[in-house]
Amino acid sequence: MTLRKLSAVLALAISTSAFAQTAPVTMPVPDDATIPAGPVGDAIRRGKVILTDTKRQLPHNVGNGLNCTNCHLNGGTTAYASPWVGLTGAFPEYRSRSGKVISLQERVNDCFQRSMNGKPIAFDGDDMNAILAYMKWLSSGVPVGTNVAGRGFEKIDTALTPNSENGKAIYAQRCAACHGAEGQGVPNGQGGYAMPPLWGKDSFNVGAGMARMFTAAAFVKHNMPLGQGNTLTAQEAVDVAAFFTQQPRPDFAARANDWPKGGRPKDAR
């Protein structure tokens, strides 16, 4: 067997075998009171602060106005809002966008470069270790090799035909109050945003998962409007995502290297 074939087999095994025979478990969320004392507890708390106040904590790594928890809701503990619960037991993992097995550190930096339109953080630095410590603590109730119900985003019917004009009307009616009539978000008066911008220079770039229509629609369907999730139909979610994902936003030149082994989704930017 050639090295290339062996690599492909290993990638497939890592990505599928851990979860193939194990049903998803209910997502357990630990109480803050269980954060231990001492250096590890300090790192966990620091990780939570970074992820919930990312722009102010890491201004040199964040190129827009977003925090990680704008998408990973409630500190990464909300089902179908890409929760972090259980992630430390899921990585390394094969990612088709990367075309290889990647570490959790690489996945974190993917978000810094794409969703945060910024720069990666040091793999072995205090900030990365704090983020991983927080995610490991969140995952403490999930057995290694077990997926959690609610990981990622809710499934959406990708056969639906988007209507961006209808999406524009839905946006004005259901989304603009929080995200602004022009997608500019709502400033918090401290250099950041109380409600995140959905397009423009301070939003995620075209390489982010949320810039993909069906990915954004899946998030919207389950979670938006905030506090009123699942009040839009799947068609309405696809329509509004078709509208806002196609608005102007920063470019990401490295997206040309995505899906090197094929399988590029039809909504990839």
- For the stretch 18-36, pLDDT in tens is 444 456 778 899 999 999 9
Q: What is the mean pLDDT of residues 183-208?
A: 94
Q: What is the per-residue DSSP string for the chain? A: --HHHHHHHHHHHHHHHHHHT---B------GGGSPSSHHHHHHHHHHHHHHSHHHH-TTT--SS--GGGTSHHHHTSTTB---TTGGGT-SEEETTTTEEE-HHHHHHHHHHTTT-S-PPPTTSHHHHHHHHHHHHHTTTS-TT--BTT-SB----TTSPP-HHHHHHHIIIIIHHHH-TTS--EE-SSSSEEE--SSSTTS--TTSGGGSHHHHHHHHHHHTTTT-TT-S-HHHHHHHHHHHTTS-----GGGGGSSTTS---TT--
**Residue 9: predicted pLDDT:** 41
Q: What is the mean pLDDT of residues 227-236?
A: 96
Provide the percentage of residues in the chain whose pLDDT is more than 90.
86
pLDDT digits (tens, 9 = 90+) for 68-114: 999 999 999 999 999 999 999 999 999 999 999 999 999 999 999 99
**Residue 147: predicted pLDDT:** 85
Residue 2 predicted with pLDDT over 70: no
Residue 138 predicted with pLDDT over 80: yes
**Residue 22: predicted pLDDT:** 57
From 18-22, 43-47, 143-147, 230-234, the region with the lowest mean pLDDT: 18-22
pLDDT digits (tens, 9 = 90+) for 155-173: 999 999 999 999 999 999 9
Residue 190 predicted with pLDDT over 90: no
Residue 3 predicted with pLDDT over 90: no
- Domains contained in the chain, CATH given: 28-138 (1.10.760.10), 164-257 (1.10.760.10)
